[in-house]
Structure 1
Amino acid sequence: MTLTQLEIFSQVAQLRGFTRAALRLGISQSAVSHAIKALEQELGVSLFERHASGLALTPIGEQLLQRARAMLGLAATMGQEAADSRGMKQGTLRIGSFGPSASIRLLPAMLQAFRQQAPGIEVHIDEGPDRDVLQWLLERRIDVGFVVLPQTSFHTFPLLEDQMVALLPAGHALCAEPAVSLKALCEDPFILSQAGSAELVESLFQSAGVRPNIRYRSGQLLSTLETVARGDALSVVAELSLPEAGAGPARYQTRPLAPKVRRKIGLAVLDPAQASPATLAFITLAQSLCAER
């Protein structure tokens, strides 16, 4: 088997289709089909099966995909280490990012500084909820990911802290309070923003022994802000995820939770010993920039 076959296998599995993988890789669909067929013949197993809903991995395909991604990750690390030894900066850095906190407030400045430091590194960014970033790390789809700390399954690097706040419509009775309890947020309809730390918010209510009246679930923070601003629901969000002050009309207000809830954000990798030089350089840069905030 070759690394090219493993890369094609990985892309077909990720995109759930031969045609989409061919477009992503810039090769013909027949080349993708040939590579998968040759890999299956060499391994003596079927990697994919077709259903009415589309292409899916077989059980052994799921298992071998983890091995393939690990091998591709190590090969990429070797290539970048060799390039660095020649005084070059080449390769790819794959970053997982969640919510506006990372994607809007943190990542742009980091990418700008990293581009100046390593202009030859191609950066790929996958965005999704925090739970997706954790899964991408396990699957080795990304080299490094923004996470909410603590995370016991990964090696982590702390970046900064912010706090969780109650998000209220302007003029709501709770706006008169200096801080808001989780119990008080259970009396109105609630919108759960799944763009960032949804699991953290749910665990906060569970730990407090109360249950919010979840009427809405939103995959985008902008939808959450608009729903709250209209007075349709309350929410709990991370302070760092909100637009900067003055970015829009004060149609909603925030109040600290009582008691206060701090949120720690960091970067995570599976194994720093196997991380590429580009990955380690990005982590060092990110920590340095966050220390200056």
Structure 2
Amino acid sequence: MDLRQLRYFSHIAELEHFGRAADRLHIAQPALTRQIRQLEEEIGVELFERLPRGVRLTAAGRVLFAQTKDLLAQCERMIKLTQQVSRGQAGLLRIGFADGVTFNRTFSEILKAFRQECPDVVLDLVPASSLEQAELLARKELDLGFVYWLPKAQSVHSLQFQEEALMLAVPKSSHLAKRKSITIEDLSEYPIVWFRRSNSPSYYDLIVSRFEQKGCTLNVVQEANNESTMLSLVSADIGATFITESALRRKPDDVVFIPVTDLNAMLSVKAMWSDDNNPALSKLVAVVRRAIM
């Protein structure tokens, strides 16, 4: 039994006539009759009752016809899905994103544009630090990551968004809140909410080095796992934190952002990925390129 025989059988069952089915299938009637006879012999039952002017399904034939319609429809869906995957129009993409990336408007625009272009591609969004994403990418457990820092010992492709200056987020109750700008010296011994160094060593060390260059110490009084938590702790008057300008979109009402004139720390989101034969990944990279041009 093969799919061709089942298709032949299905056409005859619909038309109840071998001759008309042969015309529709563009094959000779004797060849069609031979295929159905082989199918009946293989199954061991008669599928059609021969009538003077056509045929009709036997009870066994009606059961097979019902099952055949479902099977052929499933095969058609399978072929369509396979073709879509090969064109990057379907499948699965695992996308990582570092905390804070969601503040970036370009990130949101990329996801929206890709969903519009490839609505049948399933996006598995994975929150993870830049370091964790590098490890996932190396293990082929991630297709593309949106990060702040690229791995040094790992060969990846990358595209960079526009750089953003880091700003200081302070509670409105702070004596610094009404300042138009501040310097690092203004923050000497000021309580800071910051993340663990293991989350992003390069980012952490950059800020520490800027303080050390001014003869100051970064006074971390509370650690947090992500930028959303850091902003919440600032709102709770635990301390201040450094954050990108794009976070202004979602800052709490009782938090103020102030430029730090001598911090000289720029941060940018980067899309990183490894070589892969996933056509959907190529389409996502193309969307990223268009978004940042």
Give the TM-score taking structure 1 as reference length.
0.60
Match of 1:253 among 243, 253, 257: 257
1:173 partner SS: coil
Match of 2:219 in 1: 213
Match of 1:162 in 2: 164
For 1:285 and 1:131, how far apart are their aligned partners in 2? 24
For 2:253 and 2:228, how far apart are their aligned partners in 1? 14
Task: Flag the 1:289–1:177 CA change in 2: closer, same or farther, 3 A.
Answer: same
Q: CA contact under 8 A between 1:189 and 1:215: conserved in structure 2?
A: yes
Question: Aligned-pair distance for 1:95?
Answer: 0.6
Task: Flag the 1:275–1:104 CA change in 2: closer, same or farther, 3 A.
Answer: farther
Provide the aligned C-alpha RMSD in A: 3.3
Q: Aligned partner of 2:249: which letter?
A: E
Q: CA contact under 8 A between 1:194 and 1:220: conserved in structure 2?
A: no
Q: CA contact under 8 A between 1:191 and 1:233: conserved in structure 2?
A: yes
Question: Aligned-pair distance for 1:213?
Answer: 1.8
For 1:279 and 1:197, how far apart are their aligned partners in 2? 26
Q: CA contact under 8 A between 1:205 and 1:211: conserved in structure 2?
A: no
Match of 1:239 in 2: 245
Q: Aligned partner of 1:263: which letter?
A: L
Question: What is the correspondence of 1:142-161 to structure 2 with a 5 Å cutoff?
Answer: 142-149=142-149, 151-152=151-152, 153=154, 154-161=156-163
Give per-residue Cα distances to partners, 1:211-250, cap 9 Å, x unaligned. Answer: 322121112433322321232211112222x2417x6424
Match of 1:269 in 2: 273
Q: Aligned partner of 2:291: which letter?
A: L
* Alignment gaps of 5+ in structure 2: 1-81
2:183 partner SS: coil
Task: Flag the 1:168–1:103 CA change in 2: closer, same or farther, 3 A.
Answer: closer
Question: What is the correspondence of 1:44-193 to structure 2 with a 5 Å cutoff?
Answer: 83=83, 89-102=89-102, 105-149=105-149, 151-152=151-152, 153=154, 154-193=156-195
1:237 partner SS: strand
Give per-residue Cα distances to partners, 1:9-50, cap 9 Å, x unaligned. Answer: xxxxxxxxxxxxxxxxxxxxxxxxxxxxxxxxxxxxxxxxxx
Identity of aligned residues (%): 16
For 1:236 and 1:112, how far apart are their aligned partners in 2? 28
For 1:206 and 1:195, how far apart are their aligned partners in 2? 10
**Paired residues, what number?**
209
Is 2:206 the partner of 1:204?
Answer: yes
Question: Aligned-pair distance for 1:206?
Answer: 3.1
* Alignment gaps of 5+ in structure 1: 1-81
Q: CA contact under 8 A between 1:158 and 1:287: conserved in structure 2?
A: no
Q: CA contact under 8 A between 1:166 and 1:237: conserved in structure 2?
A: yes
For 2:180 and 2:230, how far apart are their aligned partners in 1? 22
Larger radius of gyration: 2
Question: Aligned-pair distance for 1:194?
Answer: 6.0
Question: Aligned-pair distance for 1:142?
Answer: 0.4
Question: Aligned-pair distance for 1:257?
Answer: 4.5
Task: Flag the 1:249–1:206 CA change in 2: closer, same or farther, 3 A.
Answer: closer
Question: Aligned-pair distance for 1:132?
Answer: 1.5
For 1:280 and 1:84, how far apart are their aligned partners in 2? 14
Task: Flag the 1:199–1:108 CA change in 2: closer, same or farther, 3 A.
Answer: same
